[in-house]
Every structure is written in structure tokens, then in C-alpha cells.
Copies of this chain bind each other. A is one copy, B any other.
Amino acid sequence: MKEKTRNLDPVILLKEVGLSPTMQRVAILRYLLLNRNHPTVNMIYQDIRRKIPTLSKTSVYNSLNLFRKHNLVFTVPTDEDEKHYDLRLTSHSHFICRECRIIYDLKLPKININDEINGHKVEQYDVILRGICNKCKSKKS
């Protein structure tokens, strides 16, 4: 089975869902395309501000919430206060290190989920693994 390939140009992605590709939006979406690091609003803001010094945090929030409505980005379900954003161009799981809090992408064998479970209509699922990542493990020894 082949993953559907999607266009990786932020401008085209935005147009596809009917959003005007403003400088800010393109920059934010491009950041997400280039940095697959599940960033927080602040990480995105701090980075793009170097190129667009007038960028406001509000616009980052606005854009990301818009992107979410259009299923361009998703949030990684964590138990942290800050939201972490994710593109999901391919289906994958996440490993969260309880030491350094870094979120790693993981390719797990797909699990079979019915479209309907206990009468609930299932649209999406996430698998989150937790533990100690390899870097933190070696730091300790």
C-alpha cells in the first residue's frame, strides 16, 4: 500500500485548502515542513521572528488554529501545558521522553481499528509511547 504523496510547497498546500498564502502563514507552514520537531508556538515564533521581526505571537496562534481547522496540522496529545504541533504527512506514532520531553516520530506497525467501536464513530487514532530516550539513557550511565 502506498502513502498518498502530498505537495510539500506551503503555498500550494495553503491554496489547496482555500487559505490565502500570506507571508506569515507561509513562513509558519514552511517551518513545520522543514522542522519535524513537534514545535510549540513559542519555538515557531522565536524562529520566524528572526526573518519576520514584526511577526506577532497572535498570528502564530491564529495561523495554527486555522491550519488545524483545515487539517493541515495536528496537535500531539501529550500531558504538557504547551501544545505541540505536527504535520502528519505520513501516519506515525510518537515517543515522548519523560526526561528531556523530546517527542520522537516512530514508525509502528499499523493497528487495526474499526470505523466504529462501541457505537462511537472513529475518525482518527494516536499511539503515544513514553519512557526514556536513547540520549537520556546514555547520559545517565
Binding site for B on A (CB under 8 A): 75-79, 81, 83, 95, 97-98, 104, 106, 108, 111, 113, 117-134, 137
A-B contact pairs, 14 of them (CB 8 A): A75-B79, A77-B128, A79-B83, A97-B120, A111-B111, A111-B127, A117-B129, A120-B133, A122-B131, A123-B130, A124-B131, A125-B127, A126-B127, A128-B128
A83 to B78, CA, bound (A): 10
The A contact surface, by secondary structure, is strand
Contact B131 A120 (CB under 8 A): yes
Which residue of B97, B106, B118, B127 contacts A127 across the interface (Cβ within 8 Å)?
A: B127
A66, B8: Cα distance in complex, Å: 45
